[in-house]
Amino acid sequence: MVQKEAWGSRVGLILAMAGNAVGLGNFLRFPVQAINNGGGSFIIPYLVCFLLMGIPLLWIEWSVGRFGGKSGHHSTPFILDKMDKRRIWKYIGVFGIFTNLGVAAYYCYIESWTLSYLIHSLVGSFDNLTQLEVANFFKHYTNMDKSTFGIPYESVVIYILCLALNTYILSRGLKGVEKAAKIGMPLLIIFGIILAVKGLTLGSSGASAEFPDANAFDGLNFLWTVNFDSIWDFKVWFAAAGQIFFTLSVGMGTIQCYASYVKSKDDIALNGLSAGFMNEFVEIVLGSLIVIPIAAGYLGLDWVKENAGFSMAFKTMPFLFEKWGPVLSNLSGFMWFGLLFFAGITSSLAMGTPWMGFMQDEYKWGRKKSALSFGLIILIIGLPTVLFYNYGVFDEYDYWAGTASLVVFAMLEVILFSWVFGIKKGWAEINEGADLKVPKIYKYIIWFVTPIMLIFVFLGSLFNPKNGDFKAAFISLKNNNGWPFDDGSIISQINMTSYKNALKNAVSAEDIEKAEKTINYVLFSRFLLIGLFLIISFLVYRAYIKNRKKHDLSTINSVK
Amino acid sequence: MQTNALITMLVVQITVTFFTIRFFYTILKKPDVKGDSYVEDEIKNDD
Tens digit of each residue's pLDDT (9 = 90 or more) over A317-359: 999 999 988 888 999 999 999 999 999 999 999 999 999 999 9
Within 8 A of B8 by CB-CB distance, chain A residues are 40, 43, 224-226
Q: Tell me the pLDDT band of B41, cut-offs 50, 70 and 90.
A: very low
Nearest Cα of chain B lies from the Cα of A301 at a distance, in angstroms, of 14
A122-145: b (≥16 Cβ within 10 Å) or e: eeebbeeeebeebbebbeebbebe
Contact at 8 Å (CB) between A31 and A226?
A: no
What pLDDT, on the 0 to 100 scale, is given for residue A396? Answer: 95
A168-187: b (≥16 Cβ within 10 Å) or e: ebbbebbebbbbbbbebbee
A395-443 pLDDT tens trace: 999 999 998 999 999 999 999 999 999 999 999 999 999 999 999 999 9
What pLDDT, on the 0 to 100 scale, is given for residue A468? Answer: 79
Q: What is the 3-state secondary structure (H, E, C) of A334-349?
A: HHHHHHHHHHHHHHHH
Contact at 8 Å (CB) between A140 and A148?
A: yes
- CA nearest A543: which of A367, A373, A358, A366? A358
Nearest residue on chain B to A43, alpha-carbon basis = B12
**CA A356 remoteness from chain centre:** 19
Nearest residue on chain B to A279, alpha-carbon basis = B20
Nearest residue on chain A to B39, alpha-carbon basis = A8
Contact at 8 Å (CB) between A335 and A191?
A: yes
The rounded distance, in Å, linking the Cα atoms of A297 and A277 is 29
CA atoms within 13 A on the CB side of A132: 0
Of B38, B40, B45, the CB nearest to A10: B38
- B36 and A10: CB-CB below 8 Å? yes
What pLDDT, on the 0 to 100 scale, is given for residue A509? Answer: 94
Of B13, B28, B37, the CB nearest to A284: B13
Identify any residues that bridge with A465 across adjacent strands, giving them in sequence order: A485
% of chain A surpassing 90 pLDDT: 76
ipTM: 0.90
- B8 and A226: CB-CB below 8 Å? yes
Nearest Cα of chain B lies from the Cα of A233 at a distance, in angstroms, of 20
What pLDDT, on the 0 to 100 scale, is given for residue A4? Answer: 67
Nearest residue on chain B to A47, alpha-carbon basis = B12
| Mean pLDDT of the region A299-308 | 90
- CA nearest A354: which of A373, A341, A381? A373
Lowest-pLDDT range of A15-29, A442-456, A511-525 = A15-29
Of A9, A47, A220, the CB nearest to B32: A9
Identify any residues that bridge with B34 across adjacent strands, giving them in sequence order: B36
A444-483: b (≥16 Cβ within 10 Å) or e: ebbbebbbebbebbbebbebbbbebbbeebeebeeeeeee
A201 CB contacts (<8 Å, ≥6 apart)?
A: none
DSSP A149: S
- B23 and A262: CB-CB below 8 Å? no
- A274 and B24: CB-CB below 8 Å? yes
What pLDDT, on the 0 to 100 scale, is given for residue A2? Answer: 45
| Mean pLDDT of the region A27-31 | 88
Residue B16 to residues A9, A103, A186, A276: CA-CA distances in angstroms?
A: 24, 29, 18, 11
Within 8 A of B45 by CB-CB distance, chain A residues are 1-4
Identify any residues that bridge with A485 across adjacent strands, giving them in sequence order: A465
What pLDDT, on the 0 to 100 scale, is given for residue A311? Answer: 79
The rounded distance, in Å, linking the Cα atoms of A455 and A292 is 32
What pLDDT, on the 0 to 100 scale, is given for residue A228? Answer: 80
pTM assigned to the model: 0.92
For chains A and B, CB pairs below 8 A equal: 104
Q: Per this entry, what is the length of chain A?
A: 560
Give the A-side interface with B, CB within 8 Å: 1-4, 6-14, 40, 43, 47, 217, 220-221, 223-226, 261-263, 265-266, 270-271, 273-274, 277-278, 280-281, 284-285, 288, 435-436
- B5 and A221: CB-CB below 8 Å? yes
What pLDDT, on the 0 to 100 scale, is given for residue A332? Answer: 94
- CA nearest A292: which of A76, A28, A482, A480? A28
**Residue A314 phi, psi dihedral angles, 5° rounding:** -105, -35
Identify the burial level of A272 via C-beta atoms within 10 angstroms of its C-beta, where 0-12 means exposed, 13-18 middle and 19 or more buried. Answer: buried
Within 8 A of A1 by CB-CB distance, chain B residues are 45-47
| Mean pLDDT of the region A369-374 | 98
**Residue A3 phi, psi dihedral angles, 5° rounding:** -95, 135
Nearest residue on chain A to B47, alpha-carbon basis = A1
- A225 and B44: CB-CB below 8 Å? no
What pLDDT, on the 0 to 100 scale, is given for residue A35? Answer: 85
**Residue A232 confidence (pLDDT) above 80:** no
Residue type, A407: V
Lowest-pLDDT range of A125-134, A163-172, A406-415, B29-38 = B29-38
More confident residue, A559 or A176: A176
Contact at 8 Å (CB) between A45 and A231?
A: yes
What pLDDT, on the 0 to 100 scale, is given for residue B34? Answer: 66
| Mean pLDDT of the region A48-64 | 96
What pLDDT, on the 0 to 100 scale, is given for residue A148? Answer: 66
Helices A95-123 and A154-171 cross at an angle (nearest 10°) of: 120
Q: Tell me the pLDDT band of A117, cut-offs 50, 70 and 90.
A: very high
Of A7, A221, A436, the CB nearest to B38: A7
What pLDDT, on the 0 to 100 scale, is given for residue B46? Answer: 39
A483-513 pLDDT tens trace: 999 888 999 999 999 999 999 999 999 999 9
**Residue B45 phi, psi dihedral angles, 5° rounding:** -95, 150
Q: Tell me the pLDDT band of B38, cut-offs 50, 70 and 90.
A: low
Contact at 8 Å (CB) between A409 and A251?
A: yes
What pLDDT, on the 0 to 100 scale, is given for residue B42? Answer: 42
- CA nearest B46: which of A79, A368, A5? A5
What pLDDT, on the 0 to 100 scale, is given for residue A423? Answer: 97
What pLDDT, on the 0 to 100 scale, is given for residue A522? Answer: 96
Nearest Cα of chain B lies from the Cα of A57 at a distance, in angstroms, of 18
In degrees, to the nearest 5, what angle opens at C-alpha A63 toward C-alphas A62 and A68?
100
A251 CB contacts (<8 Å, ≥6 apart)?
A: A57, A99, A245, A405, A406, A407, A408, A409, A410, A413
Identify any residues that bridge with A3 across adjacent strands, giving them in sequence order: B45
Contact at 8 Å (CB) between A64 and A249?
A: no
Of A47, A224, A273, the CB nearest to B9: A224
Q: Tell me the pLDDT band of B37, cut-offs 50, 70 and 90.
A: low
Pick among B14, B36, B42, B46 to test the A interface (most A CBs inside 10 A): B36
What pLDDT, on the 0 to 100 scale, is given for residue A1? Answer: 40
Pick among B20, B28, B29, B34 to test the A interface (most A CBs inside 10 A): B20
- A6 and B43: CB-CB below 8 Å? yes
A176-227 pLDDT tens trace: 999 999 999 999 999 999 999 999 999 999 999 989 999 999 999 999 998 8
Neighbours of A198 (CB within 10 A): 20
Q: Is the dihedral of CA A182, A24, A286, A47 positive or negative?
A: negative
Give the B-side interface with A, CB within 8 Å: 1-2, 4-6, 8-9, 12-13, 16-17, 19-20, 23-24, 26-28, 30, 32, 35-38, 40, 42-47
> Three-state SS for A477?
helix
- B23 and A224: CB-CB below 8 Å? no
The rounded distance, in Å, linking the Cα atoms of A512 and A71 is 55
A251-260 pLDDT tens trace: 999 999 999 9
A541 CB contacts (<8 Å, ≥6 apart)?
A: none
**Residue A115 confidence (pLDDT) above 60:** yes
Q: What is the 3-state secondary structure (H, E, C) of A498-545?
A: HHHHHHHHCCCHHHHHHHHHHHHHHHHHHHHHHHHHHHHHHHHHHHHH
What pLDDT, on the 0 to 100 scale, is given for residue A551? Answer: 81
Identify the burial level of A213 via C-beta atoms within 10 angstroms of its C-beta, where 0-12 means exposed, 13-18 middle and 19 or more buried. Answer: exposed
What pLDDT, on the 0 to 100 scale, is given for residue B35? Answer: 62
- B20 and A266: CB-CB below 8 Å? no
Contact at 8 Å (CB) between A75 and A358?
A: yes
Lowest-pLDDT range of A246-250, A255-259, A443-447 = A246-250
Of A225, A280, A288, the CB nearest to B4: A225
